[in-house]
């Protein structure tokens, strides 16, 4: 991979906990990854694995219990000054899964799309604000006339466009899209994905794309991380990972993707992941290791041996 790529976001040994003392629960545990400017980075894993929690920690909605989140060279988790807080509120935006639940039903679209601008007051005149809002509407393929309407007057796909407008109006650099198409009808999904790709090209956006439709993730992401119970177990360039998944959890996840081809789907073998029989971590604990360039995996020494052999079988030169 190109060495000159600029890292926009870096997450280092991130830990997020919920609850106190006895009820304490570690939702995100020692998670590290970075996202290059301009790329689409995918985060996949079963529900409850900690994907949303990571997204919310980045935009400071969840407190972090350990580790660092560095955005464009500056640490943005923990205590930060007001200026920086304002700055990242603008530069990092999040799009949520359910456009219905995430839009204030009693507010007009105009207010919904303007909300972030109102909060930051980063415009000089009301004219300027209106201008930005109308541009954002056009950018997502909606008519500025719609601004005087209410969310319930729109279809699911249009509502998600409003959700996108509301984030791009801030002119962010990083957008965290948390299952942005899961609640949409299949026929609308492709339209929203096309819109997101189009905006990325035009505005040089960087995406952290959280999703559970693994076929879609393969199509739209450049790199992807697989998370299991709060820990990232494998991370690599998307095509590379889909072709050669190494970690048994990744393998089980990918083997479960239904293939829309009856002969292949019926011939395929499901792999089952059982952490208690796959790993023996008592004496030989796992580490986060770069097994081939840009391909990271959580494994201990014995497992690494095995994974290197698997790579060699597929004609790939491992590191170490």
Ligand X SMILES: Nc1ncnc2c1ncn2[C@@H]1O[C@H](COP(=O)(O)OP(=O)(O)O)[C@@H](O)[C@H]1O
Classify residue 319 by its DSSP letter: P
Gap between the Cα atoms of 103 and 146, Å rounded: 15
| Residue 122 vs 191, nearer CB to another protein | 191
At which residue do the structure tokens 């299949």 appear?
Answer: 186
In the stretch 233-252, what mask flags binding to another protein with x, by CB under 8 A?
A: -------------------x
72 touches, from another protein, ligand X, Mg ion, none (C-beta below 5 to 8 Å by class)? none
Gap between the Cα atoms of 175 and 254, Å rounded: 26
Q: Is 52 in the site for Mg ion (CB under 5 A)?
A: yes
50 touches, from ligand X, another protein, Mg ion, none (C-beta below 5 to 8 Å by class)? ligand X
Gap between the Cα atoms of 56 and 96, Å rounded: 11
| Residue 157 vs 199, nearer CB to ligand X | 157
Gap between the Cα atoms of 133 and 210, Å rounded: 26
| In the complex, least distance from residue 155 CB atom to another protein, rounded to whole angstroms | 9
At which residue do the structure tokens 């992807």 appear?
Answer: 224
In the stretch 8-27, what mask flags binding to ligand X with x, by CB under 6 A?
A: ----------x--------x
Q: Is 241 in the site for ligand X (CB under 6 A)?
A: no
Interface residue with another protein among 138, 256, 312, 319 (CB under 8 A) is: 256
18 touches, from another protein, Mg ion, ligand X, none (C-beta below 5 to 8 Å by class)? ligand X
| Residue 57 vs 291, nearer CB to Mg ion | 57
Q: How far is CA 278 from CA 169, 230, 239, 303, in A?
A: 47, 18, 25, 10
DSSP letters for 47-107? TTSSHHHHHHHHTTSS--SEEEEEETTEE-SSS--HHHHHHHHHHEEEE-S-HHHHS-TTS
Q: Is 186 in the site for another protein (CB under 8 A)?
A: yes
| In the complex, least distance from residue 27 CB atom to ligand X, rounded to whole angstroms | 4
Gap between the Cα atoms of 193 and 129, Å rounded: 27
Interface residue with ligand X among 7, 24, 48, 84 (CB under 6 A) is: 48
Q: Is 50 in the site for ligand X (CB under 6 A)?
A: yes
Q: Is 49 in the site for ligand X (CB under 6 A)?
A: yes
Q: Collapsing DSSP states into helix, strand and coil, what is residue 26? A: strand
216 touches, from Mg ion, ligand X, another protein, none (C-beta below 5 to 8 Å by class)? another protein
CB-CB contact of 64 with 40 (8 Å): no
Both tokens of 309, joined, read 């052999």
Strand partners, 16: 28
Asked whether the CA dihedral 274, 278, 283, 286 is positive or negative, the reply is negative
Interface residue with ligand X among 8, 35, 52, 169 (CB under 6 A) is: 52
Site residues for another protein, 137-166, by CB under 8 A, read none
| In the complex, least distance from residue 227 CB atom to Mg ion, rounded to whole angstroms | 11
Site residues for another protein, 199-228, by CB under 8 A, read 212-216, 218-220
Q: Which span sits near Mg ion by CB under 5 A: 21-29, 45-53, 156-164, 243-251?
A: 45-53
């Amino acid at each position: 991979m190109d060495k000159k790529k600029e890292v926009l976001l870096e997450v280092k040994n991130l830990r997020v906990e919920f609850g106190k003392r006895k009820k304490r629960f570690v939702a995100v545990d020692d998670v590290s990854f970075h996202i290059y400017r301009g790329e689409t980075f995918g985060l996949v894993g079963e529900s409850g694995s900690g994907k949303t929690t990571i997204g919310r920690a980045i935009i400071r909605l969840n407190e972090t219990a350990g580790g660092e989140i560095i955005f464009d060279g500056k640490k943005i988790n923990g205590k930060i000054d007001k200026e920086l807080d304002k700055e990242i509120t603008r530069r990092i935006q999040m799009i949520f899964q359910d456009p219905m639940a995430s839009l204030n039903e009693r507010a007009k679209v105009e207010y919904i799309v303007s909300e972030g601008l109102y909060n930051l007051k980063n415009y000089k005149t009301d004219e300027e604000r209106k201008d930005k809002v109308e541009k954002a509407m056009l950018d997502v393929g909606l008519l500025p006339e719609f601004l005087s309407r209410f969310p319930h007057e729109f279809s699911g796909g249009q509502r998600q466009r409003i959700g996108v407008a509301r984030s791009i109006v801030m002119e962010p650099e990083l957008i965290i899209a948390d299952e942005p198409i899961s609640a949409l009808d299949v026929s609308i999904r492709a339209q929203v994905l096309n819109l997101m790709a189009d905006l990325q090209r035009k505005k040089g956006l960087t995406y952290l794309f959280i999703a559970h439709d693994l076929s879609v993730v393969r199509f739209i992401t450049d790199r992807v991380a697989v998370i299991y119970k709060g820990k990232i177990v494998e991370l690599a360039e998307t095509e590379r990972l889909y072709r050669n998944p190494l970690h048994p959890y990744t393998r089980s996840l990918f083997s479960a993707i239904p293939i829309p081809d009856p002969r292949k789907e019926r011939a395929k073998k499901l792999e089952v992941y059982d952490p208690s029989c796959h790993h023996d971590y008592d004496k030989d604990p796992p580490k986060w290791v770069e097994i081939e360039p840009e391909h990271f995996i959580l494994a201990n020494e014995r497992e690494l041996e095995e994974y290197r052999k698997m790579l060699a079988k597929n004609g790939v030169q491992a590191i170490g």
